[in-house]
Amino acid sequence: MTTMSFMEHLEELRRRLIICVVAALICMAVAWPLVPTVQLYITRPLQEPSVTQKWSYELETWAIHKFPALAQRFHIQPEPPKVNPHRLNYMAPLEPFFVQMKISLITGLALAFPIILYQLWLFTAPALYPKERKIIYYFLPIGTVAFILGDLFFLKMVWPLIISFSLRYESEFLFSMLNLTQFVNFCLRLLLVFGLIFELPLILLVLARVGLVRVESLRRQRRVAVLLSCVVAAFHADVLTMGAIAIPIYAMYELSILTVWIFGGNYSRGEDSEPAPVPAETGLGPPTEP
């Protein structure tokens, strides 16, 4: 641990912030040509058959091949998924440009995320003990990977389900006019949520290593975790999509308990690493059993 004056801390903070801003601007410029690709990826559920249609068709096709007699008895006839493409709309003249700027900014920050974390580490490292630095060495790369995995899980599994549910309300008297800004903002907000959800095991592990969380307390709060998972999921869609959101949240909580139990150390399990020493001059020893 090194000591620095207040002005030296301010100077070091200013230098780290400048590097972070410059890195974010450079990555934003790099991400600008990638914006159409990002837009195409997040709008893909609008141009493809719904996820539920795909799953239903694959399940019925599998049943016909595996159990033809049973499928014929129950008149199972799989229908190929129907493609009903949708387009986003915008109301303001410069709305697509500002949305493009926003996607470029978010993508640039994602590309600069390792650099920003590294600058944060360089700023805080002099104030940490060697044991604390060792924890951060694992936290930064694993945390980055966990955040990316959470976003990929959302884009591959949850996002198509949400869009499928939204479009299911269309009928002869009701059609969708999805707004570009609201569509992108909703997607980016959920990307952040799922990235943070996948950080939960790592965050609880760090809290356990510093002695703030124990396995027994996490186990006692399982009912609360189930309730909070359902509350978060209830703000989004039907039972199918609620399950697609609530199950990963609670699964991350259970994974957190397992992670803290394995890697959290003796304190996280409520065990003392060493018994408290007794002064020799008192003449007192450990109590004996009768």
The pLDDT tens digits along the chain (290 residues) read 556 677 877 888 899 899 999 999 999 999 999 888 888 888 888 887 776 677 777 887 887 887 878 777 777 777 777 777 788 888 888 899 999 999 999 888 888 888 887 888 777 777 667 766 776 777 778 888 888 888 888 888 888 888 887 877 777 788 888 899 999 988 888 888 888 888 888 888 877 776 777 888 888 888 888 888 888 777 655 676 677 778 888 888 898 888 888 876 655 555 544 444 444 444 444 444 44
Please tell me the distance from the alpha carbon of residue 194 to that of residue 197, in angstroms, as a whole number.
5
Torsion 33-38-44-46 (CA) sign: negative
Q: Which tokens go with 180?
A: 């570009």
Token pair 């709309």: residue: 89
Please tell me the distance from the alpha carbon of residue 26 to that of residue 30, in angstroms, as a whole number.
6
pTM over 0.75: no
- The candidate with the shortest Cα–Cα distance to 28, out of 157, 131, 115, is 115
Residue 68's identity, in one-letter code, is: P
Domain range list for the chain = 1-82+89-138
Q: What does the DSSP 8-state code read for residue 198?
A: T
